[in-house]
């Protein structure tokens, strides 16, 4: 369990808070809007109304004590930038900030952000890949060219084993797991038999997926 300071609980921030709550982490939520704070109270550990660009207010939160500080302010980039910079100045261990445009990402990284999330860009990639590829059920972008894909098993793979298909050697595709009844089974070995009713999770480049599955 980790302690998280979440600054900004608009639509994106609420989704982050909800997921952190599901994962069992302690979340302190901060926002200038009383309405937003009231809406998120059932899914966070604690919450405060305040201006995160006010150094004294941020300092009162004890930012050094949190494992991570997440800045999800989306409607005021100046406030997001100032908050990110102040958090680092006050000794925050890790600062993760939200960007809406590429230029914002650069400014945030230069002004204290350890990592930047770019929801619109990431969702755009997911939508484009998912909606133009029949076999791809889900997609997680990693650093570099290699990503994680959840794929339907092609009909001509039915009943064949991992070692028989040999997609790692032929296409550079690593089969990580098989989804059975909604649960991922990570125990995949050379003798694992493919079943068209059970999607697979793989680590690969998009180009290798396109070539292997003739997308």
| Position with higher pLDDT, 183 vs 145 | 183
How far, in Å, are 7, 66, 170, 187, 197 from residue 152 at the CA level? Answer: 39, 41, 19, 18, 8
Question: 76 or 135: whose pLDDT is higher?
Answer: 76
Task: Write the pLDDT tens digit of every residue in 123-137.
Answer: 777 677 766 677 788
What whole-number percentage of the chain has pLDDT above 70?
94
Q: What is the pLDDT of residue 141?
A: 76
Rounded CA-CA distance 82/8 in Å is 13
The mean pLDDT value for 198-207 works out to 91
Identify any residues that bridge with 51 across adjacent strands, giving them in sequence order: none
The predicted pLDDT at position 102 comes to: 76
Q: What are the extents of the domains in the chain?
A: 3-117, 122-213
Distance CA 210, CA 163 (A): 21
Instruction: Please determine, for residue 200, whether its predicted confidence score (pLDDT) is greater than 90.
Output: yes
For the whole prediction, is pTM greater than 0.75?
Answer: no
Average pLDDT over residues 5-25: 93
Q: DSSP state, 194? A: P
CA–CA distance, 206 with 155 (Å, rounded to integer): 20
Q: Yes or no: say if 69 and 5 are a contact pair by the CB < 8 Å rule.
A: yes
pLDDT digits (tens, 9 = 90+) for 25-69: 999 999 999 999 999 999 999 999 999 999 999 999 999 999 999
CATH architecture under which domain 3-117 falls = 3-Layer(aba) Sandwich (3.40)
Query: At the top level of CATH, which class does the domain 122-213 belong to?
Result: alpha beta
pLDDT at residue 121 above 70?
no
For 90, the token pair is 């006050």
Confidence of residue 143 (pLDDT cuts 50, 70, 90): low
Tell me the C-alpha distance between 120 and 54, whole Å. Answer: 28
What would the mean pLDDT of 163-180 be, rounded to a whole number? 92
CB burial string 18-56: b at 16+ within 10 A, e below: eebbeeebbbbbbbbeeebbebbeebbeebeebebbeee
Q: What pLDDT shows up at residue 132?
A: 66
Mean pLDDT of 141-162: 87
Predicted confidence (pLDDT) at residue 74 exceeds the cutoff of 90: no
Q: What residues contact 199, with CB distance under 8 A and at least 6 apart? A: 137, 150, 151, 152, 153, 178, 179
């Amino acid at each position: 369990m980790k302690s998280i300071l979440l600054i900004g609980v608009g639509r994106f921030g609420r989704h982050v808070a909800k997921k952190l709550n599901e994962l069992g982490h302690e979340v302190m939520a901060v926002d200038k809007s009383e309405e937003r704070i009231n809406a998120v109270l059932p899914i966070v550990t604690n919450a405060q109304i305040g201006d995160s660009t006010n150094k004294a207010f941020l300092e009162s939160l004890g930012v050094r004590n949190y494992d991570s500080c997440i800045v999800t302010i989306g409607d005021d980039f100046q406030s997001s930038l100032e908050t990110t910079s102040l958090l680092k100045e006050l000794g925050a261990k890790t600062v993760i900030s939200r960007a809406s445009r590429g230029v914002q990402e650069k400014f945030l990284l230069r002004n204290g952000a350890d990592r930047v999330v770019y929801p619109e860009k990431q969702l755009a990639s997911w939508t484009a890949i998912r909606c133009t590829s029949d076999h791809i059920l889900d997609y997680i972008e990693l650093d570099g060219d290699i990503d994680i894909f959840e794929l339907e098993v092609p009909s001509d793979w039915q009943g064949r084993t991992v070692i028989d298909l040999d997609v790692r050697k032929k296409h550079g595709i690593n089969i990580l797991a098989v989804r059975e009844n909604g649960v991922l089974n990570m125990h995949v070995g050379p003798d694992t038999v493919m079943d068209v009713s059970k999607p697979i999770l793989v680590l690969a480049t998009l180009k290798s997926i396109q070539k292997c599955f003739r997308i």
